[in-house]
Amino acid sequence: MSLVKATATIGGLTLVSRIAGFLRDMLMARYVGAGLAADAFLIAFRLPNLFRALFAEGAFSSAFVPMFSRIVGAQHGDLAAGKRFAEDVLAVLLPFLVVFSIIMVVAASPMVWALTGGFPDASPAKFGLAVDFTKLTFPYLLLISLVSLMGGILNSIGRFWVNAAAPILLNIALIVGLLFFHGANEVETARVQAVCVSVAGILQFGWLLWACLRADIRLRLRWPRLNDQVRRMLRIIWPAAVGAGAVQFNLLISTALAARFLREGAVSYLYYADRLNQLPLGLIGIGVGTALLPTLSRQLGAGDEKVAAHTQNRAIELVLLLTLPAAAALTVSAAPMIRALLEHGRFTPTDTLLSSQALAAFSLGLPAYVLIKVLTPGFYARQDTRTPVRIAVASMLVNLAGNLVLIWHFAHVGIALSTALAAWVNAIALWLVLRRRGHFLVDARLRRTIPRLLLAALVMVAVLLGLNPVIAPYTGGPLIGRIVALSVLIGSGGVAYLLVARLLGVFTIAELRKQFSRKAQPR
């Protein structure tokens, strides 16, 4: 499968997963709300997600896939040696995951207490619910880790779409649980969601197993042994795990502080706000993130540093063009957006107000989150994986310090502000290191473009501030009215932004399309 086709396939399926995930959040807001039950479920779901990032998916794939591909490549495409390596990895991975999962389920109570402090300001029932839900969700870790192993094999042989479609099954399982098996109250519905998490793991495991069998990949269970290849993979996986863990630990620390020190519902407010904030980040990353790394790697491999710098400058232009209006809309119009999308059922006007405050704070860091995705390939393309990890760990410490300072003055909004601040520290540090090494310089065109984009974003902010009170009465009515109101609000702001950007001569869409097309030639 060509890179362009693979990128389009993965990007399309990721988009479907994002849409399904947001539909899931809308239904969760309707049936569970943002109180005791939602907080307990989100705490329970946060724990397996943390270990999933450490042991599975990104960290595991970054070590396993290159090794598997090299082994198969050395055998001129013969999968036999690759299968043997995968069986050796499975022999070590499976017993570890089984034992670890059993320990975590047995130790669910002290683990949840360590994370939440027992929810000091809530009833004892909330802590008990979080423990029960954790026991129901933790089998997901075992299953998703096995999914990562099989998905890595399929990615290595060019069957990207199977693994890319797997996250959709998680969202489908949770949506089905919310629509057809929700309980008489929010607590019972949250319990169903916890069960559905592990059901989703079973579905994803079955999906990948079926795809492997179809590809004639059958892994036998062997007696575990740490041979040279497995040891090498374990050595490689730790830096990636630390990098992935920095992001997850940021979220874990924020969740823990909200659970320990803030009012009931704070965990939920941060969750819903972050999910909305992540939506444009994920969609923008589909196009730029997948195209930039191989492009830079190819240009640097040819020894053309100037062309690589030009490509990275144009990538920054592109992400700022797309991200600044998203950040403006999510910051200035957070309240009407959340009211239109989430305020119904058990999600109250108070929940809307408090969630929108967190969303506005999160969104201040949205350009930084995307810039990190553009600047990090500048290290990876030069085979430097350690520097971005060190910077990510440093930003995690900044986030922790910011949380401890700001939470007392701004409650859950302080946590969101600290997250945005840490993202800017991360992005600026990446840029400074690249500049110091002579690997990236802001060119004259980018210096000219950035202030013009900021001016266009300010015009968009003025338009949104004028429209917010006009649109607000229509964002709490029937569904069609909400959709129309939100479309008018976002559409008007977006049109104003693009018109000003075009009048200022920033660049044209045709030029951007040419720059990032497969046929574009570097200048």
Average pLDDT over residues 347-357: 94
What pLDDT, on a 0 to 100 scale, did the predictor assign at position 297? 61
Task: Kindly report, residue by residue over 208-217, the tens digit of the pLDDT.
Answer: 999 999 888 8
Res 223: pLDDT: 87
- Residue 291: pLDDT over 60: no
Residue 322 is predicted with a pLDDT of 85
Residue 359, pLDDT score: 96
Work out the average pLDDT over 401-410: 92
Contact yes or no for 366/330 (Cβ under 8 A)? yes
Confidence bin at 520 (pLDDT 50/70/90):
very low
pLDDT at 360 over 90: yes
Which position has the higher pLDDT, 242 or 79? 79
Tallying the residues shown for the chain, one arrives at: 523
Q: Which pLDDT value is given to residue 1?
A: 46
Residue 284 has pLDDT above 80, yes or no: no
Is the whole-model pTM more than 0.85?
Answer: no
- The CA distance from 215 to 254, in Å, is 42
Amino acid (one-letter) located at 389: V
Query: Which residue in the block uniquely carries the two structure tokens 């405050």?
Result: 357
pLDDT tens-digit map of 303-351: 777 887 887 888 888 888 889 999 999 999 999 999 999 998 889 999 9
pLDDT tens, residue by residue, 160-182 = 788 878 889 999 999 999 999 88
Residues with Cβ within 8 Å of residue 439, at least 6 apart in sequence: 305, 309, 378, 382
Q: Is 128 exposed, middle or buried (0-12, 13-18, 19+ CB in 10 A)?
A: middle
Phi then psi for residue 521, to 5 deg, are -100, 130
- Asked if pLDDT for residue 41 goes beyond 90, the answer is yes
Q: How far is Cα 419 from Cα 423, in angstroms, rounded to an integer?
A: 6
Tell me the C-alpha to C-alpha distance, in Å, between residue 488 and each of 353, 378, 481: 21, 39, 11
Judged against a pLDDT cut of 70, whether residue 220 lies above it is answered with: yes
Q: Which residue has the higher pLDDT, 183 or 24?
A: 24
Residues of the chain by 3-state class (helix, strand, coil), percent to 5: 85, 0, 15
Give the pLDDT confidence of 196-208 residue by residue, as tens digits.
999 999 999 999 9
Question: What's the chain's average pLDDT?
Answer: 83
**CA distances (Å), origin 461, targets 187, 327, 362, 391:** 40, 10, 17, 32
Three-class secondary structure of residue 218 per DSSP: coil
For residues 162 and 281, which has the higher predicted lDDT (pLDDT)?
A: 162
Least-confidence region, from 56-65, 386-395, 432-441:
56-65
The whole-number pLDDT of residue 177 equals 95
Closest of 284, 375, 288, 280 to residue 328, by C-alpha: 280
Residue 469 contacts by C-beta under 8 Å, 6 or more apart in sequence?
A: none
Rounded average pLDDT over 140-146: 88
